[in-house]
A and B are shown apart, each in its own frame.
Chain A
Amino acid sequence: MSVVTPSVASLSGLTARPGQPPARADAPVKIDVDRMNFYYGAKRALDGISIQIRANLVTAFIGPSGCGKSTFLRSLNRMNDIIPATRVEGTVLIDGQDIYAPGVDVVELRRRVGMVFQKSNPFPKSIFENVAYGLRINDMARSKAELADRVEESLRQAAIFDEVKDRLQDSALALSGGQQQRLCIARALAIRPEILLMDEPASALDPIATQRIEELIYDLKKTYTIVIVTHNMQQAARVSDHTAFFWLGRLVEYDRTDRIFTAPAEKLTEDYVTGRCG
Chain B
Amino acid sequence: MKHRADVLFRTIALGTLLLALAALGALVYDIVSGGLGRLNWQFLTSMASRRPEDAGIYHALAGSIWVIVLTGALALPLGVAAAVYLEEYGTRSRAARLIEINIANLAAVPSIIYGLLGLGVFVRFMGMGRSVLAGACTLALLALPVVILSTREALRTVPGSIREGSYALGATKWQTIWYQVLPMALPGILTGLILSLSRAIGETAPLITIGALTYIPFAPDGLWSPFTVLPIQIFNWVSRPQAAFKENAAAGILVLMLLLLVMNAIAVFLRDRFQRQGRP
Which of A's residues lie within 8 Å of B, judged by CB? Answer: 77, 79, 82, 84, 107-108, 110-111, 114-115, 117, 119, 121-126, 133-134, 137-138, 170-174, 184, 187-188, 191
In the docked arrangement, what's the CA distance between A184 and B277, Å? 19
In the docked arrangement, what's the CA distance between A74 and B10, Å? 53
B169 in contact with A171 (CB, 8 Å): no
Tell me if B280 is interfacial: C-beta within 8 Å of chain A. yes
Which chain B residues lie closer than 8 Å to A172 at the CB level?
Answer: 278
Q: A108 CB to closest chain B CB, in angstroms?
A: 7
A123 in contact with B170 (CB, 8 Å): no
Q: B45 CB to closest chain A CB, in angstroms?
A: 45
Which chain A residues lie closer than 8 Å to B279 at the CB level?
Answer: 124, 171, 173
Using a Cβ–Cβ cut-off of 8 Å, how many residues does chain B contribute to the interface with A? 22
A107 in contact with B161 (CB, 8 Å): no
B165 in contact with A123 (CB, 8 Å): yes
A114 in contact with B280 (CB, 8 Å): no
A82 in contact with B278 (CB, 8 Å): no
B-side binding surface: helix, strand, loop or mixed?
Answer: helix
In the docked arrangement, what's the CA distance between A173 and B175, Å? 22
Q: A116 CB to closest chain B CB, in angstroms?
A: 8
In the docked arrangement, what's the CA distance between A187 and B92, Å? 33
A-B contact count (CB 8 A): 77
Which of B's residues lie within 8 Å of A, judged by CB? Answer: 92, 159, 161-172, 175, 179-180, 184, 277-280
Least CB separation from A109: chain B residue: B170
Least CB separation from A135: chain B residue: B169
Which chain B residues lie closer than 8 Å to A173 at the CB level?
Answer: 278-280
A107 in contact with B171 (CB, 8 Å): yes
In the docked arrangement, what's the CA distance between A116 and B76, Å? 35
| Contact among B169, B170, B184, B278 with A108 in the assembled complex (CB-CB below 8 Å) | B170
Given A117-B161, A121-B162, A123-B162; A110-B277 close (CB under 8 Å): no
A171 in contact with B280 (CB, 8 Å): yes
A184 in contact with B165 (CB, 8 Å): yes
B278 in contact with A125 (CB, 8 Å): yes
In the docked arrangement, what's the CA distance between A124 and B275, Å? 10
Given A172-B278, A173-B280, A174-B280; A82-B171 close (CB under 8 Å): no
B169 in contact with A82 (CB, 8 Å): no
Least CB separation from A172: chain B residue: B278
| Contact among B169, B175, B184, B280 with A187 in the assembled complex (CB-CB below 8 Å) | B169
| Contact among A77, A108, A122, A138 with B168 in the assembled complex (CB-CB below 8 Å) | A77
Least CB separation from A84: chain B residue: B92
| Contact among B92, B164, B184, B280 with A117 in the assembled complex (CB-CB below 8 Å) | B164
Which chain B residues lie closer than 8 Å to A122 at the CB level?
Answer: 165
Q: A191 CB to closest chain B CB, in angstroms?
A: 6
Which chain B residues lie closer than 8 Å to A84 at the CB level?
Answer: 92
